[in-house]
């Protein structure tokens, strides 16, 4: 049986390793490009599933994409030598950029991508994801201090 304090120590050590590997610029840029590619695919590129489907499953995908966006960029900047307060401010700017990116991509889908729809629930999911990434980044940064 694992005890709670041991679990948090393990989690803290794991976060350091995760940051070391995911805190690279090419990982953050790659994730940003993956988001763009996935959200810019024409609607007919997605398979039509028959039978069992999970309603609103794409909302979870949006949350994950934008949580990953904010987390990866925050991890990258946390490996740089910045003062604690400046890093918190950078994290907030990344959250704002991630939120704007999600909103902008919905408008790109509406006006420029064939067979894709504008969905305000996707925007809400993007904002929730960016917020989760921002919260996790701040908590992990505060734990380091």
Q: How far is CA 120 from CA 29, 40, 95, in A?
A: 26, 17, 19
Count CA atoms within 13 Å of residue 39 on its CB side: 27
Provide the pLDDT for residue 115. 84
Q: In whole numbers, what is the pLDDT of the chain averaged over residues?
A: 87
Tokens of 56: 């609103």
Q: How many domains does the chain have?
A: 1
pLDDT at 143 exceeding the cut of 80: no
Cα diameter, the chain: 55
- List the domain range (segments joined by +) for residue 44: 4-144
The pLDDT confidence band at residue 114, using thresholds 50, 70 and 90, is: confident
State pTM to two decimals. Answer: 0.85
pLDDT at 4 exceeding the cut of 80: no
């Amino acid at each position: 049986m694992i005890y709670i304090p041991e679990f948090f120590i393990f989690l803290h050590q794991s976060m350091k390793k995760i940051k070391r590997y995911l805190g690279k610029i090419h990982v953050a840029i790659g994730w940003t490009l993956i988001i763009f590619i996935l959200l810019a695919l024409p609607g007919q590129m997605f398979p039509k599933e028959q039978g069992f489907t999970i309603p609103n499953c794409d909302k979870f995908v949006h949350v994950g994409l934008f949580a990953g966006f904010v987390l990866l960029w925050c991890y990258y900047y946390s490996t740089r030598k910045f003062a604690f307060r400046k890093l918190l401010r950078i994290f907030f700017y990344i959250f704002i950029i991630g939120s704007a990116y999600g909103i902008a991509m919905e408008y790109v889908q509406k006006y420029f991508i064939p067979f894709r729809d504008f969905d305000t629930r996707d925007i809400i999911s993007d904002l929730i994801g960016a917020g989760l990434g921002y919260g996790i980044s701040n908590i992990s940064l505060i734990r380091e201090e």
